[in-house]
Amino acid sequence: MSGHITERAFAKLNLTLDVLGKRPDGYHNMETVMQTVDLWDEVDITIKDVPGIEVDISRDDLPKGLHNLAGKAAKIFLSYVNRPDVGVSIYITKRIPDKAGMAGGSADAAAVLRGLDRLLGTRLSEGELLELGAKVGSDVPFCVRGGTALARGRGEILTALPALPDCGIVLVKPDFSVSTPALFAALDGREIEKRPDTPGFLRLLEAGVLRGVGAALYNVFELALPPARRETVDGIKAHLLENGALGAAMTGTGSVVFGLFPSMEAARRAKSLPYTAFFVSPVGFSV
């Protein structure tokens, strides 16, 4: 058996993000509105006759083999469809910044699940792919489905939402990373004085009011940042707002900050900052 496919692994943004509390299993219950954007890694998947899973990547500083979520996804998929005879070779061309809060590794894993399902003709249902994704990582189910969705639980309980209206989005990657466990620990030990108005956000999204959606962007993890990091994030947000953004927030546990603009033309007019920046649009897709 042989075959090859290239899948796009799309990045995500958290338009809202709330942490509702720690669970007995050690995870946290979340409530977040997530959005796919048109920044993606390319995931090349090749089926081989010799069993085994190989994962290589275009960056030497990122994990390979089964240490990479893409390898874990392939192992879980082949076990589920009972195909121990199949070999898989995966090569990932990275474009999504790492340690950015954009689910780059989870997106790659989701692309592997979709790609193997197509290559092997297993025709798993969306529900099965989402279930497998949840075994790989919390953001993987959303990355399997994409589009605009409300995610609850660890992120595996998804509700499809109306599409984010057409807009331009500026992503700004400051020159630092953020420890996800440290941010969760910081939130566990404090009173959260401000939370996103998720029901209000959903009403604005349903009505297609982009200006209101922009004003309602919010991520509780910004509260947990170390002071110097929070100052940088706040500075980037202020810069984006001063340059025409309808709203701005950090995505995930950071460190990427994004601004929502009424159009891509308006986004590209935003003055530059001394950080890496990307200009993207929302996209929707589903398996």
| pLDDT tens-digit readout, 247-262 | 999 999 999 999 999 9
Cα distance between residue 11 and residue 4, in whole Å? 23
Cα 15 from Cα 242, distance rounded (Å): 19
Task: Find the radius of gyration of the CA atoms of the chain.
Answer: 19
Which one is catalytic: 12, 99, 173, 237?
A: 12
Q: What is the average per-residue pLDDT within 158-182?
A: 93
235 pLDDT higher than 80: yes
Rounded to an integer, the average pLDDT of 57-72 is 94
| b/e burial code for range 202-228 (CB count within 10 A of at least 16 → b) | bebbeeeebebbbebbbbbbbbbbeee
CA distance 244 to 261: 7
Q: Please say if 139 is a catalytic residue.
A: yes
**Is 80 exceeded by the pLDDT of residue 287?**
no
128: Cβ contacts below 8 Å, ≥ 6 apart: 80
Average pLDDT of the segment spanning 222-250: 96
Residue 161 reports pLDDT greater than 80: yes
How many helices (H) and strands (E) in the chain?
Answer: 10, 11
Q: Is 25 a catalytic residue?
A: no
CA distance linking residue 28 with residue 59, whole number of Å: 31
Confidence of residue 26 (pLDDT cuts 50, 70, 90): confident
3-state secondary structure of 280: strand
| Dihedral of alpha carbons 96, 102, 105, 108, sign | negative
Q: How confident is the model at residue 1 (pLDDT cuts 50, 70, 90)?
A: low
Categorize the per-residue pLDDT at 27 as very low, low, confident or very high, splitting at 50, 70 and 90.
Answer: confident
pTM (2 decimals)? 0.95
Q: Which domains does the chain have, with CATH numbers?
A: 3-160 (3.30.230.10), 168-280 (3.30.70.890)
**Is the Cβ–Cβ distance between 233 and 257 less than 8 Å?**
yes
Look at residue 189 in the predicted model and tell me its pLDDT.
Answer: 72
Q: Could you tell me whether strands 87-93 and 28-48 are parallel, antiparallel, or unpaired per DSSP bridges?
A: antiparallel
The average confidence (pLDDT) of the chain is 94
Of the candidates 18, 139, 173, 237, the residue annotated as catalytic is: 139
